[in-house]
Copies of this chain bind each other. A is one copy, B any other.
Amino acid sequence: MNSNIVADFSRGVDGLLPAIAQDEANGEVLMMAWMNEEALQATLDEGYAVYYSRSRKSLWRKGDTSGHRQKVSQVRVDCDQDCILLKVNQIGAACHEGYRTCFFRKVDDDKQTLTIVEERLVDPNDVYGK
């Protein structure tokens, strides 16, 4: 595999680095997930975002269930090569709760409560089954 040349997985925890998906069209930060070396290589090879699911302990081809895949147009790495940024064309909703982005809530001025600041695009029950 070549991906360890572009990212330094030895700097990750359990070999995992954070990967940020950004909508290339409007710059929205869609989500953050984890990648191991195999996930990055698969992303580069397949042209669609592939993450590593910490709960399932396996590669996670984003959109396999929902159809909400992320076509990757560019992969960037940060100065320390321990964080990955994907510029993507997001199909549908990035978030499993049906929002366009996972960051659909903001912290209120009281610093204690959250307010939803995005519209829900789809009903998760329609996407993932009831």
Contacts and interface: CB of A to CB of B under 8 A. Distances in A.
Contacts of A59: none
How many monomers of this protein are in the complex? 2
Given A13-B13, A20-B29, A20-B32, A95 B111 contact: no
A83 interface: yes
B76 A3 contact: no
Nearest to A13: B13
Interface of A: 2-3, 5-6, 13, 18, 20, 22, 26-29, 31-32, 41, 44-45, 74-80, 83, 85, 95-97, 99, 102-107, 111-114, 117
Contacts of A28: 27
Contacts of A102: 78-80, 83
Contact of A103 (B13, B45, B78, B103): B78
